[in-house]
């Protein structure tokens, strides 16, 4: 495509219409900024043109700079005229006509225009902080001048996308125009303002900047301290907006640019860029044709009104789907519906949900008794007790009741999908859709491919996840699938280190300092220690060489179940979730370790971190080697959305690459010598280390 074709210019009765056409989202890829500059110049040189309109072809205005270009050599000289400045300096008015997204450099382009009109469904924002950078094309200087530093800080430090109506209220958008009439409405708008002078250049109005006091910036820094720890980008955003309030426009832009250059190749930015593309890659299924026809999903059903079943029903209702929920008895159903209502009421109390919206969502959830009541639904998700005999009973009922062609999914967190599928006469219609607790909150949606799952059943599940606000990741049918199986060694190692002398609070501090929102022992206390206890019992019966965890078992046998009964790995005051180290736990740990005769030693934070994460890196390599996951980057996406792995570290495998595949292998091999079989290096890890191939690039030939 020649440079010019990426950007088209046509004159429509004296209005120059400039169309950006760089699918899929009109990113400012090489050739686009140049095309915009040339078009603006052309419009200004054409005496027949009185004003111009900048509009995007396809589904969006401009979704920002081309993120794939970051880290590469710039495609043009640093002193080249930038389309932002050319637009701003244009002697004739330029109107940005926004639909879809105006994000990052896209909104900065619109802010360099003299007017902005948008359709109601449009979204605008400066999300650069979410990829570890800050706006680098005047956004931190123009936005505070347009809407005031406070509102600008909120947008830039959060990176959130604003709907057009809100942007209009703030003054970013001059006019909201009807959905299907954007182009004509923008041309009419341009005609109306064609002769108005002076042109409203945002850079010229400083009157709102007075709001930008030192207190405001200090307060903003304090407000983000916890969630932005270990990160630089959010603070660089604040510094740039501060510069807007203390420096003249051009000097502020130079400050912004310098901060941008410092950040764009940082570890934080590289990790967040990796996460951005890994998340999109996870949706791609190389073994299933992209154009495969998906099965329609308009109505859903959930079998099992327990904690997970209730959360799953809420996920559907939250995204507008009518959903039926059923259980074995009316009492169980009533308990389930009561839990759903109380979860929504908690959100209303917290102000994160409007009361009328709660009622709308509750109205979409219909409790029913009897499989015949759900037979017509397009999809059913089974979420009953994790016991094979119970599953088999329920699946016989589901198979007998559900209409032909219905999608039959199970929410099991580790039971072999084929066990459920083989109970039915239509195993091709069965797959796993594994939600993570709480199901209406956690974004990971692990789709599990059974031996006989049909391609359209898998593709429909992956798409369903996206439609109910989740991030879908594909897993092969193995014990614990990809997410839980790759995390299991992490959980085992953290308890084994207690046998050798570590304490829960020490391990948790290391992981919180690393960037986790809460430590893994607190996470166990939140989810309940009895669940892990039952799983360990089941595994010990199933696998002869299963590594028992006597300390974890003793804690449960001492009646410590976690937050639900006020004591677990920590002690909790009634009504308070603050974990308090408990000498009783330290006593159980010391006594059990003494009985086991295990030598005690002190731990460095680095050893604790690597023992836990390397154990999972090794397991992830085994999973890929067996073809139970397609890409190492899928594992990373699952850790980001399923286990709260700090996003600015990219993911488990990306983080391990910052240490180096060879060093990771060597350490694991050394621990294999010292600790035995559980640390046997994965053959794939050995091959990657020998070849020097980054872990994040590991792929399976196909899913098996
Ligand atoms: N650059 C390159 N590719 C992009 C892209 C971008 N900015 N945005 C999207 N894509 C690709 C994406 O990888 C996918 O490709 C396809 O487009 C569809 O995207 C100067 C420096 C716009 C909300 O951070 O948030 O401007 O997988 O699957 O779910 O100050 O994409 O099909 O091959 O995500 O409908 C700031 C990033 C850049 C916005 C659409 N902009 N994009 O979501 O589709 S930094 C952003 C998004 C910047 C300036 C700075 C989302 C979306 P493929 P998708 P979607």
pLDDT digit string (tens) for 328-351? Answer: 999 999 999 999 999 999 999 999
- Substitution candidate for ligand 1 out of 60, 64, 273, 282 with most atoms within 8 A of CB: 64
Percent of the chain with pLDDT over 70: 99
pLDDT digit string (tens) for 382-437? Answer: 999 998 999 999 999 999 999 999 999 999 999 999 999 999 999 999 999 999 99
Q: Lowest-pLDDT range, 3-17, 33-47, 233-247, 447-461? A: 3-17
Check pocket membership of 111 for ligand 1, CB cut-off 6 A: no
Q: Is the pLDDT of residue 303 over 60?
A: yes
Give the pLDDT band (50/70/90) at residue 65: very high
Q: Name 664's Cβ contacts closer than 8 Å, sequence gap at least 6.
A: 614, 617, 656, 685, 689, 695
Check pocket membership of 580 for ligand 1, CB cut-off 6 A: no
Check pocket membership of 137 for ligand 1, CB cut-off 6 A: yes
Among 108, 256, 366, 446, the active-site one is: 108
- Other CB atoms within 10 A of residue 227 CB: 9
Check pocket membership of 136 for ligand 1, CB cut-off 6 A: yes
Q: Is the pLDDT of residue 2 over 60?
A: no
Average pLDDT over residues 132-148: 98
Check pocket membership of 105 for ligand 1, CB cut-off 6 A: yes
| Closest Cα to atom 42 of ligand 1 | 63
Q: Is the pLDDT of residue 96 over 50?
A: yes
- Give the ligand 1 atom nearest the CA of 283: 27
| Closest Cα to atom 9 of ligand 1 | 25
Give the pLDDT band (50/70/90) at residue 542: confident
Closest-CA residue to 661 (of 605, 614, 612, 625): 614
Give the pLDDT band (50/70/90) at residue 4: low
**Distance in angstroms between the alpha carbons of the first and the last residue of the chain:** 40
Average pLDDT over residues 585-595: 96
pLDDT digit string (tens) for 503-541? Answer: 999 999 999 999 999 999 999 999 899 988 988 988 888
Give the pLDDT band (50/70/90) at residue 75: confident
- Substitution candidate for ligand 1 out of 61, 63, 290 with most atoms within 8 A of CB: 63
Check pocket membership of 63 for ligand 1, CB cut-off 6 A: yes
- Give the ligand 1 atom nearest the CA of 135: 30
**What's the pTM?**
0.96
The whole-chain average pLDDT of the chain stands at 96
Provide the pLDDT for residue 3: 54
- Give the ligand 1 atom nearest the CA of 139: 30
Report the separation in Å between the CA atom of 413 and the middle of ligand 1, taken as the mean of its atom positions: 32
Looking at 376-519, list the stretches that DSSP marks H as alpha helix, in order from N- to C-terminal side.
388-401, 417-421, 455-467, 483-499, 504-514
pLDDT digit string (tens) for 667-703? Answer: 999 999 999 999 999 999 999 999 999 999 999 989 9
Among 128, 242, 268, 366, the active-site one is: 128
pLDDT digit string (tens) for 255-292? Answer: 999 999 999 999 999 999 999 999 999 999 999 999 99
Looking at 302-435, list the stretches that DSSP marks H as alpha helix, in order from N- to C-terminal side.
307-318, 330-350, 355-364, 388-401, 417-421
Q: Lowest-pLDDT range, 23-32, 72-81, 270-279, 468-477? A: 72-81
- Substitution candidate for ligand 1 out of 6, 24, 109 with most atoms within 8 A of CB: 24
Report the separation in Å between the CA atom of 26 and the middle of ligand 1, taken as the mean of its atom positions: 9
Alpha-carbon distance 33 to 47, whole Å? Answer: 23
Check pocket membership of 56 for ligand 1, CB cut-off 6 A: no
Average pLDDT over residues 305-309: 96
Provide the pLDDT for residue 71: 86
Provide the pLDDT for residue 432: 98
Strand partners of residue 28: 65
Helix (H) or strand (E) holding 279: helix 267-281
- Does residue 386 have an active-site annotation? no
Check pocket membership of 256 for ligand 1, CB cut-off 6 A: no
Q: Parallel, antiparallel, or unpaired: how do β-strands 300-303 and 379-382 relate?
A: parallel
Provide the pLDDT for residue 1: 43
| Closest Cα to atom 49 of ligand 1 | 105
Q: Is the pLDDT of residue 22 over 90?
A: yes
Provide the pLDDT for residue 72: 85
Instruction: Give the tokens for residue 164.
Output: 């057009």
Provide the pLDDT for residue 466: 97
Q: Name 269's Cβ contacts closer than 8 Å, sequence gap at least 6.
A: 70, 131, 132, 133, 233, 263
pLDDT digit string (tens) for 212-223? Answer: 999 999 999 999
- Give the ligand 1 atom nearest the CA of 100: 22
- Does residue 128 have an active-site annotation? yes
Looking at 529-649, list the stretches that DSSP marks H as alpha helix, in order from N- to C-terminal side.
529-542, 550-557, 583-596, 605-625, 632-642
Strand partners of residue 446: 434, 473
């Amino acid at each position: 495509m020649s440079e010019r074709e990426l950007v088209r210019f046509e004159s429509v009765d004296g209005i120059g219409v400039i169309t950006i056409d760089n699918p899929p989202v009109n990113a400012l890829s090489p050739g686009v900024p140049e095309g915009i500059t040339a078009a603006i110049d052309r419009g200004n040189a054409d005496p027949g043109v009185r004003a111009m309109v900048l509009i995007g072809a396809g589904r969006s205005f401009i979704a920002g700079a081309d993120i794939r270009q970051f880290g590469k050599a710039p495609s043009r000289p640093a002193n080249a005229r930038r389309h932002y400045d050319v637009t701003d300096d244009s002697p004739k008015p330029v109107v940005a006509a926004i639909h879809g997204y105006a994000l990052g450099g896209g909104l900065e382009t619109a802010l360099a225009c003299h007017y902005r009109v948008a359709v109601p469904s449009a979204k605008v924002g400066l999300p650069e902080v979410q990829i570890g950078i800050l706006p680098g094309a005047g956004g931190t200087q123009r936005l505070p001048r347009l809407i005031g530093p406070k509102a600008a800080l909120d947008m830039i430090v959060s990176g959130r996308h604003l709907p057009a109506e809100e942007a209009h209220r703030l003054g970013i958008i001059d006019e909201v125009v009807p959905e299907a009439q954007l182009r004509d409405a923008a041309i009419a708008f341009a005609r109306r303002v064609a002769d108005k002078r002076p042109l409203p250049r945002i850079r010229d109005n400083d009157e709102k900047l007075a709001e930008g006091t030192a207190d405001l910036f200090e307060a903003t820094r304090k407000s983000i301290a916890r969630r932005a720890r270990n990160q630089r980008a959010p603070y660089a955003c604040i510094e740039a907006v501060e510069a807007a309030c203390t420096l003249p426009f051009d000097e502020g832009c130079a400050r912004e640019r310098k901060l941008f250059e410092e950040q764009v190749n940082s570890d934080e930015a590289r990790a967040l860029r990796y996460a951005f593309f890994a998340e999109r890659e996870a949706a791609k299924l190389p073994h299933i044709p992209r154009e495969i026809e998906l099965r329609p999903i308009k109505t859903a059903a959930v079998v099992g009104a327990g904690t997970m079943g209730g959360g799953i029903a809420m996920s559907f209702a939250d995204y507008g789907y009518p959903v039926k929920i059923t259980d074995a008895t009316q009492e169980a159903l009533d308990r389930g519906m009561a839990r759903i209502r109380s979860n929504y009421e908690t959100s209303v109390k917290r102000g994160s949900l409007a009361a009328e919206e709660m009622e709308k969502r509750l109205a979409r959830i219909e409790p029913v008794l009897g499989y015949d009541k759900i037979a017509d639904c397009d999809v059913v998700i089974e979420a009953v007790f994790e016991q094979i005999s119970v599953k088999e009973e329920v699946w016989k009922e589901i198979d007998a009741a559900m209409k032909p062609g219905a999608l039959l999914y199970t929410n099991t967190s580790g039971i072999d999908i084929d066990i459920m599928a083989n109970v039915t006469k239509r195993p091709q219609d069965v797959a796993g859709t594994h939600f993570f607790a709480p199901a209406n909150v956690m974004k990971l949606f692990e789709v599990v491919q059974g031996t006989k799952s049909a391609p359209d059943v898998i593709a429909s599940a992956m798409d369903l996840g996206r439609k109910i606000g989740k991030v879908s990741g594909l897993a092969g049918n193995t014990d614990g699938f990809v997410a839980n199986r790759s995390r299991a060694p992490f959980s085992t190692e953290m308890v084994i280190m207690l046998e050798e002398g570590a304490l829960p609070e020490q391990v948790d501090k290391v992981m919180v300092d690393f960037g986790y929102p809460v430590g893994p022992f607190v996470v166990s206390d939140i989810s309940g220690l009895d669940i892990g206890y039952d799983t360990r019992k089941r595994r010990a019966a199933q696998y002869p060489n299963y590594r028992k965890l006597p300390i974890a078992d003793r804690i449960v046998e001492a009646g410590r179940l976690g937050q639900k009964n006020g004591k677990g790995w920590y002690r909790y005051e009634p009504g308070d979730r603050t974990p308090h180290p408990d000498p009783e736990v330290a006593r159980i740990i010391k006594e059990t370790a003494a009985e086991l005769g295990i030598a005690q030693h002190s731990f460095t934070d680095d050893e604790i971190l690597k023992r836990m994460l390397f154990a999972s890196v090794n397991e992830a390599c085994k999973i890929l080697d067996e073809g139970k996951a397609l890409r190492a980057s899928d594992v990373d996406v699952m850790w980001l959305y399923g286990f709260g792995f700090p996003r600015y570290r990219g993911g488990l495998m990306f983080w391990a690459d910052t240490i180096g595949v060879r060093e990771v292998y060597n350490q694991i091999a050394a621990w294999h010598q010292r600790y035995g079989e559980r640390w046997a290096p994965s053959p794939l890890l050995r091959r990657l280390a020998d070849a020097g191939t980054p872990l994040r690039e590991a792929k399976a030939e196909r899913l098996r």
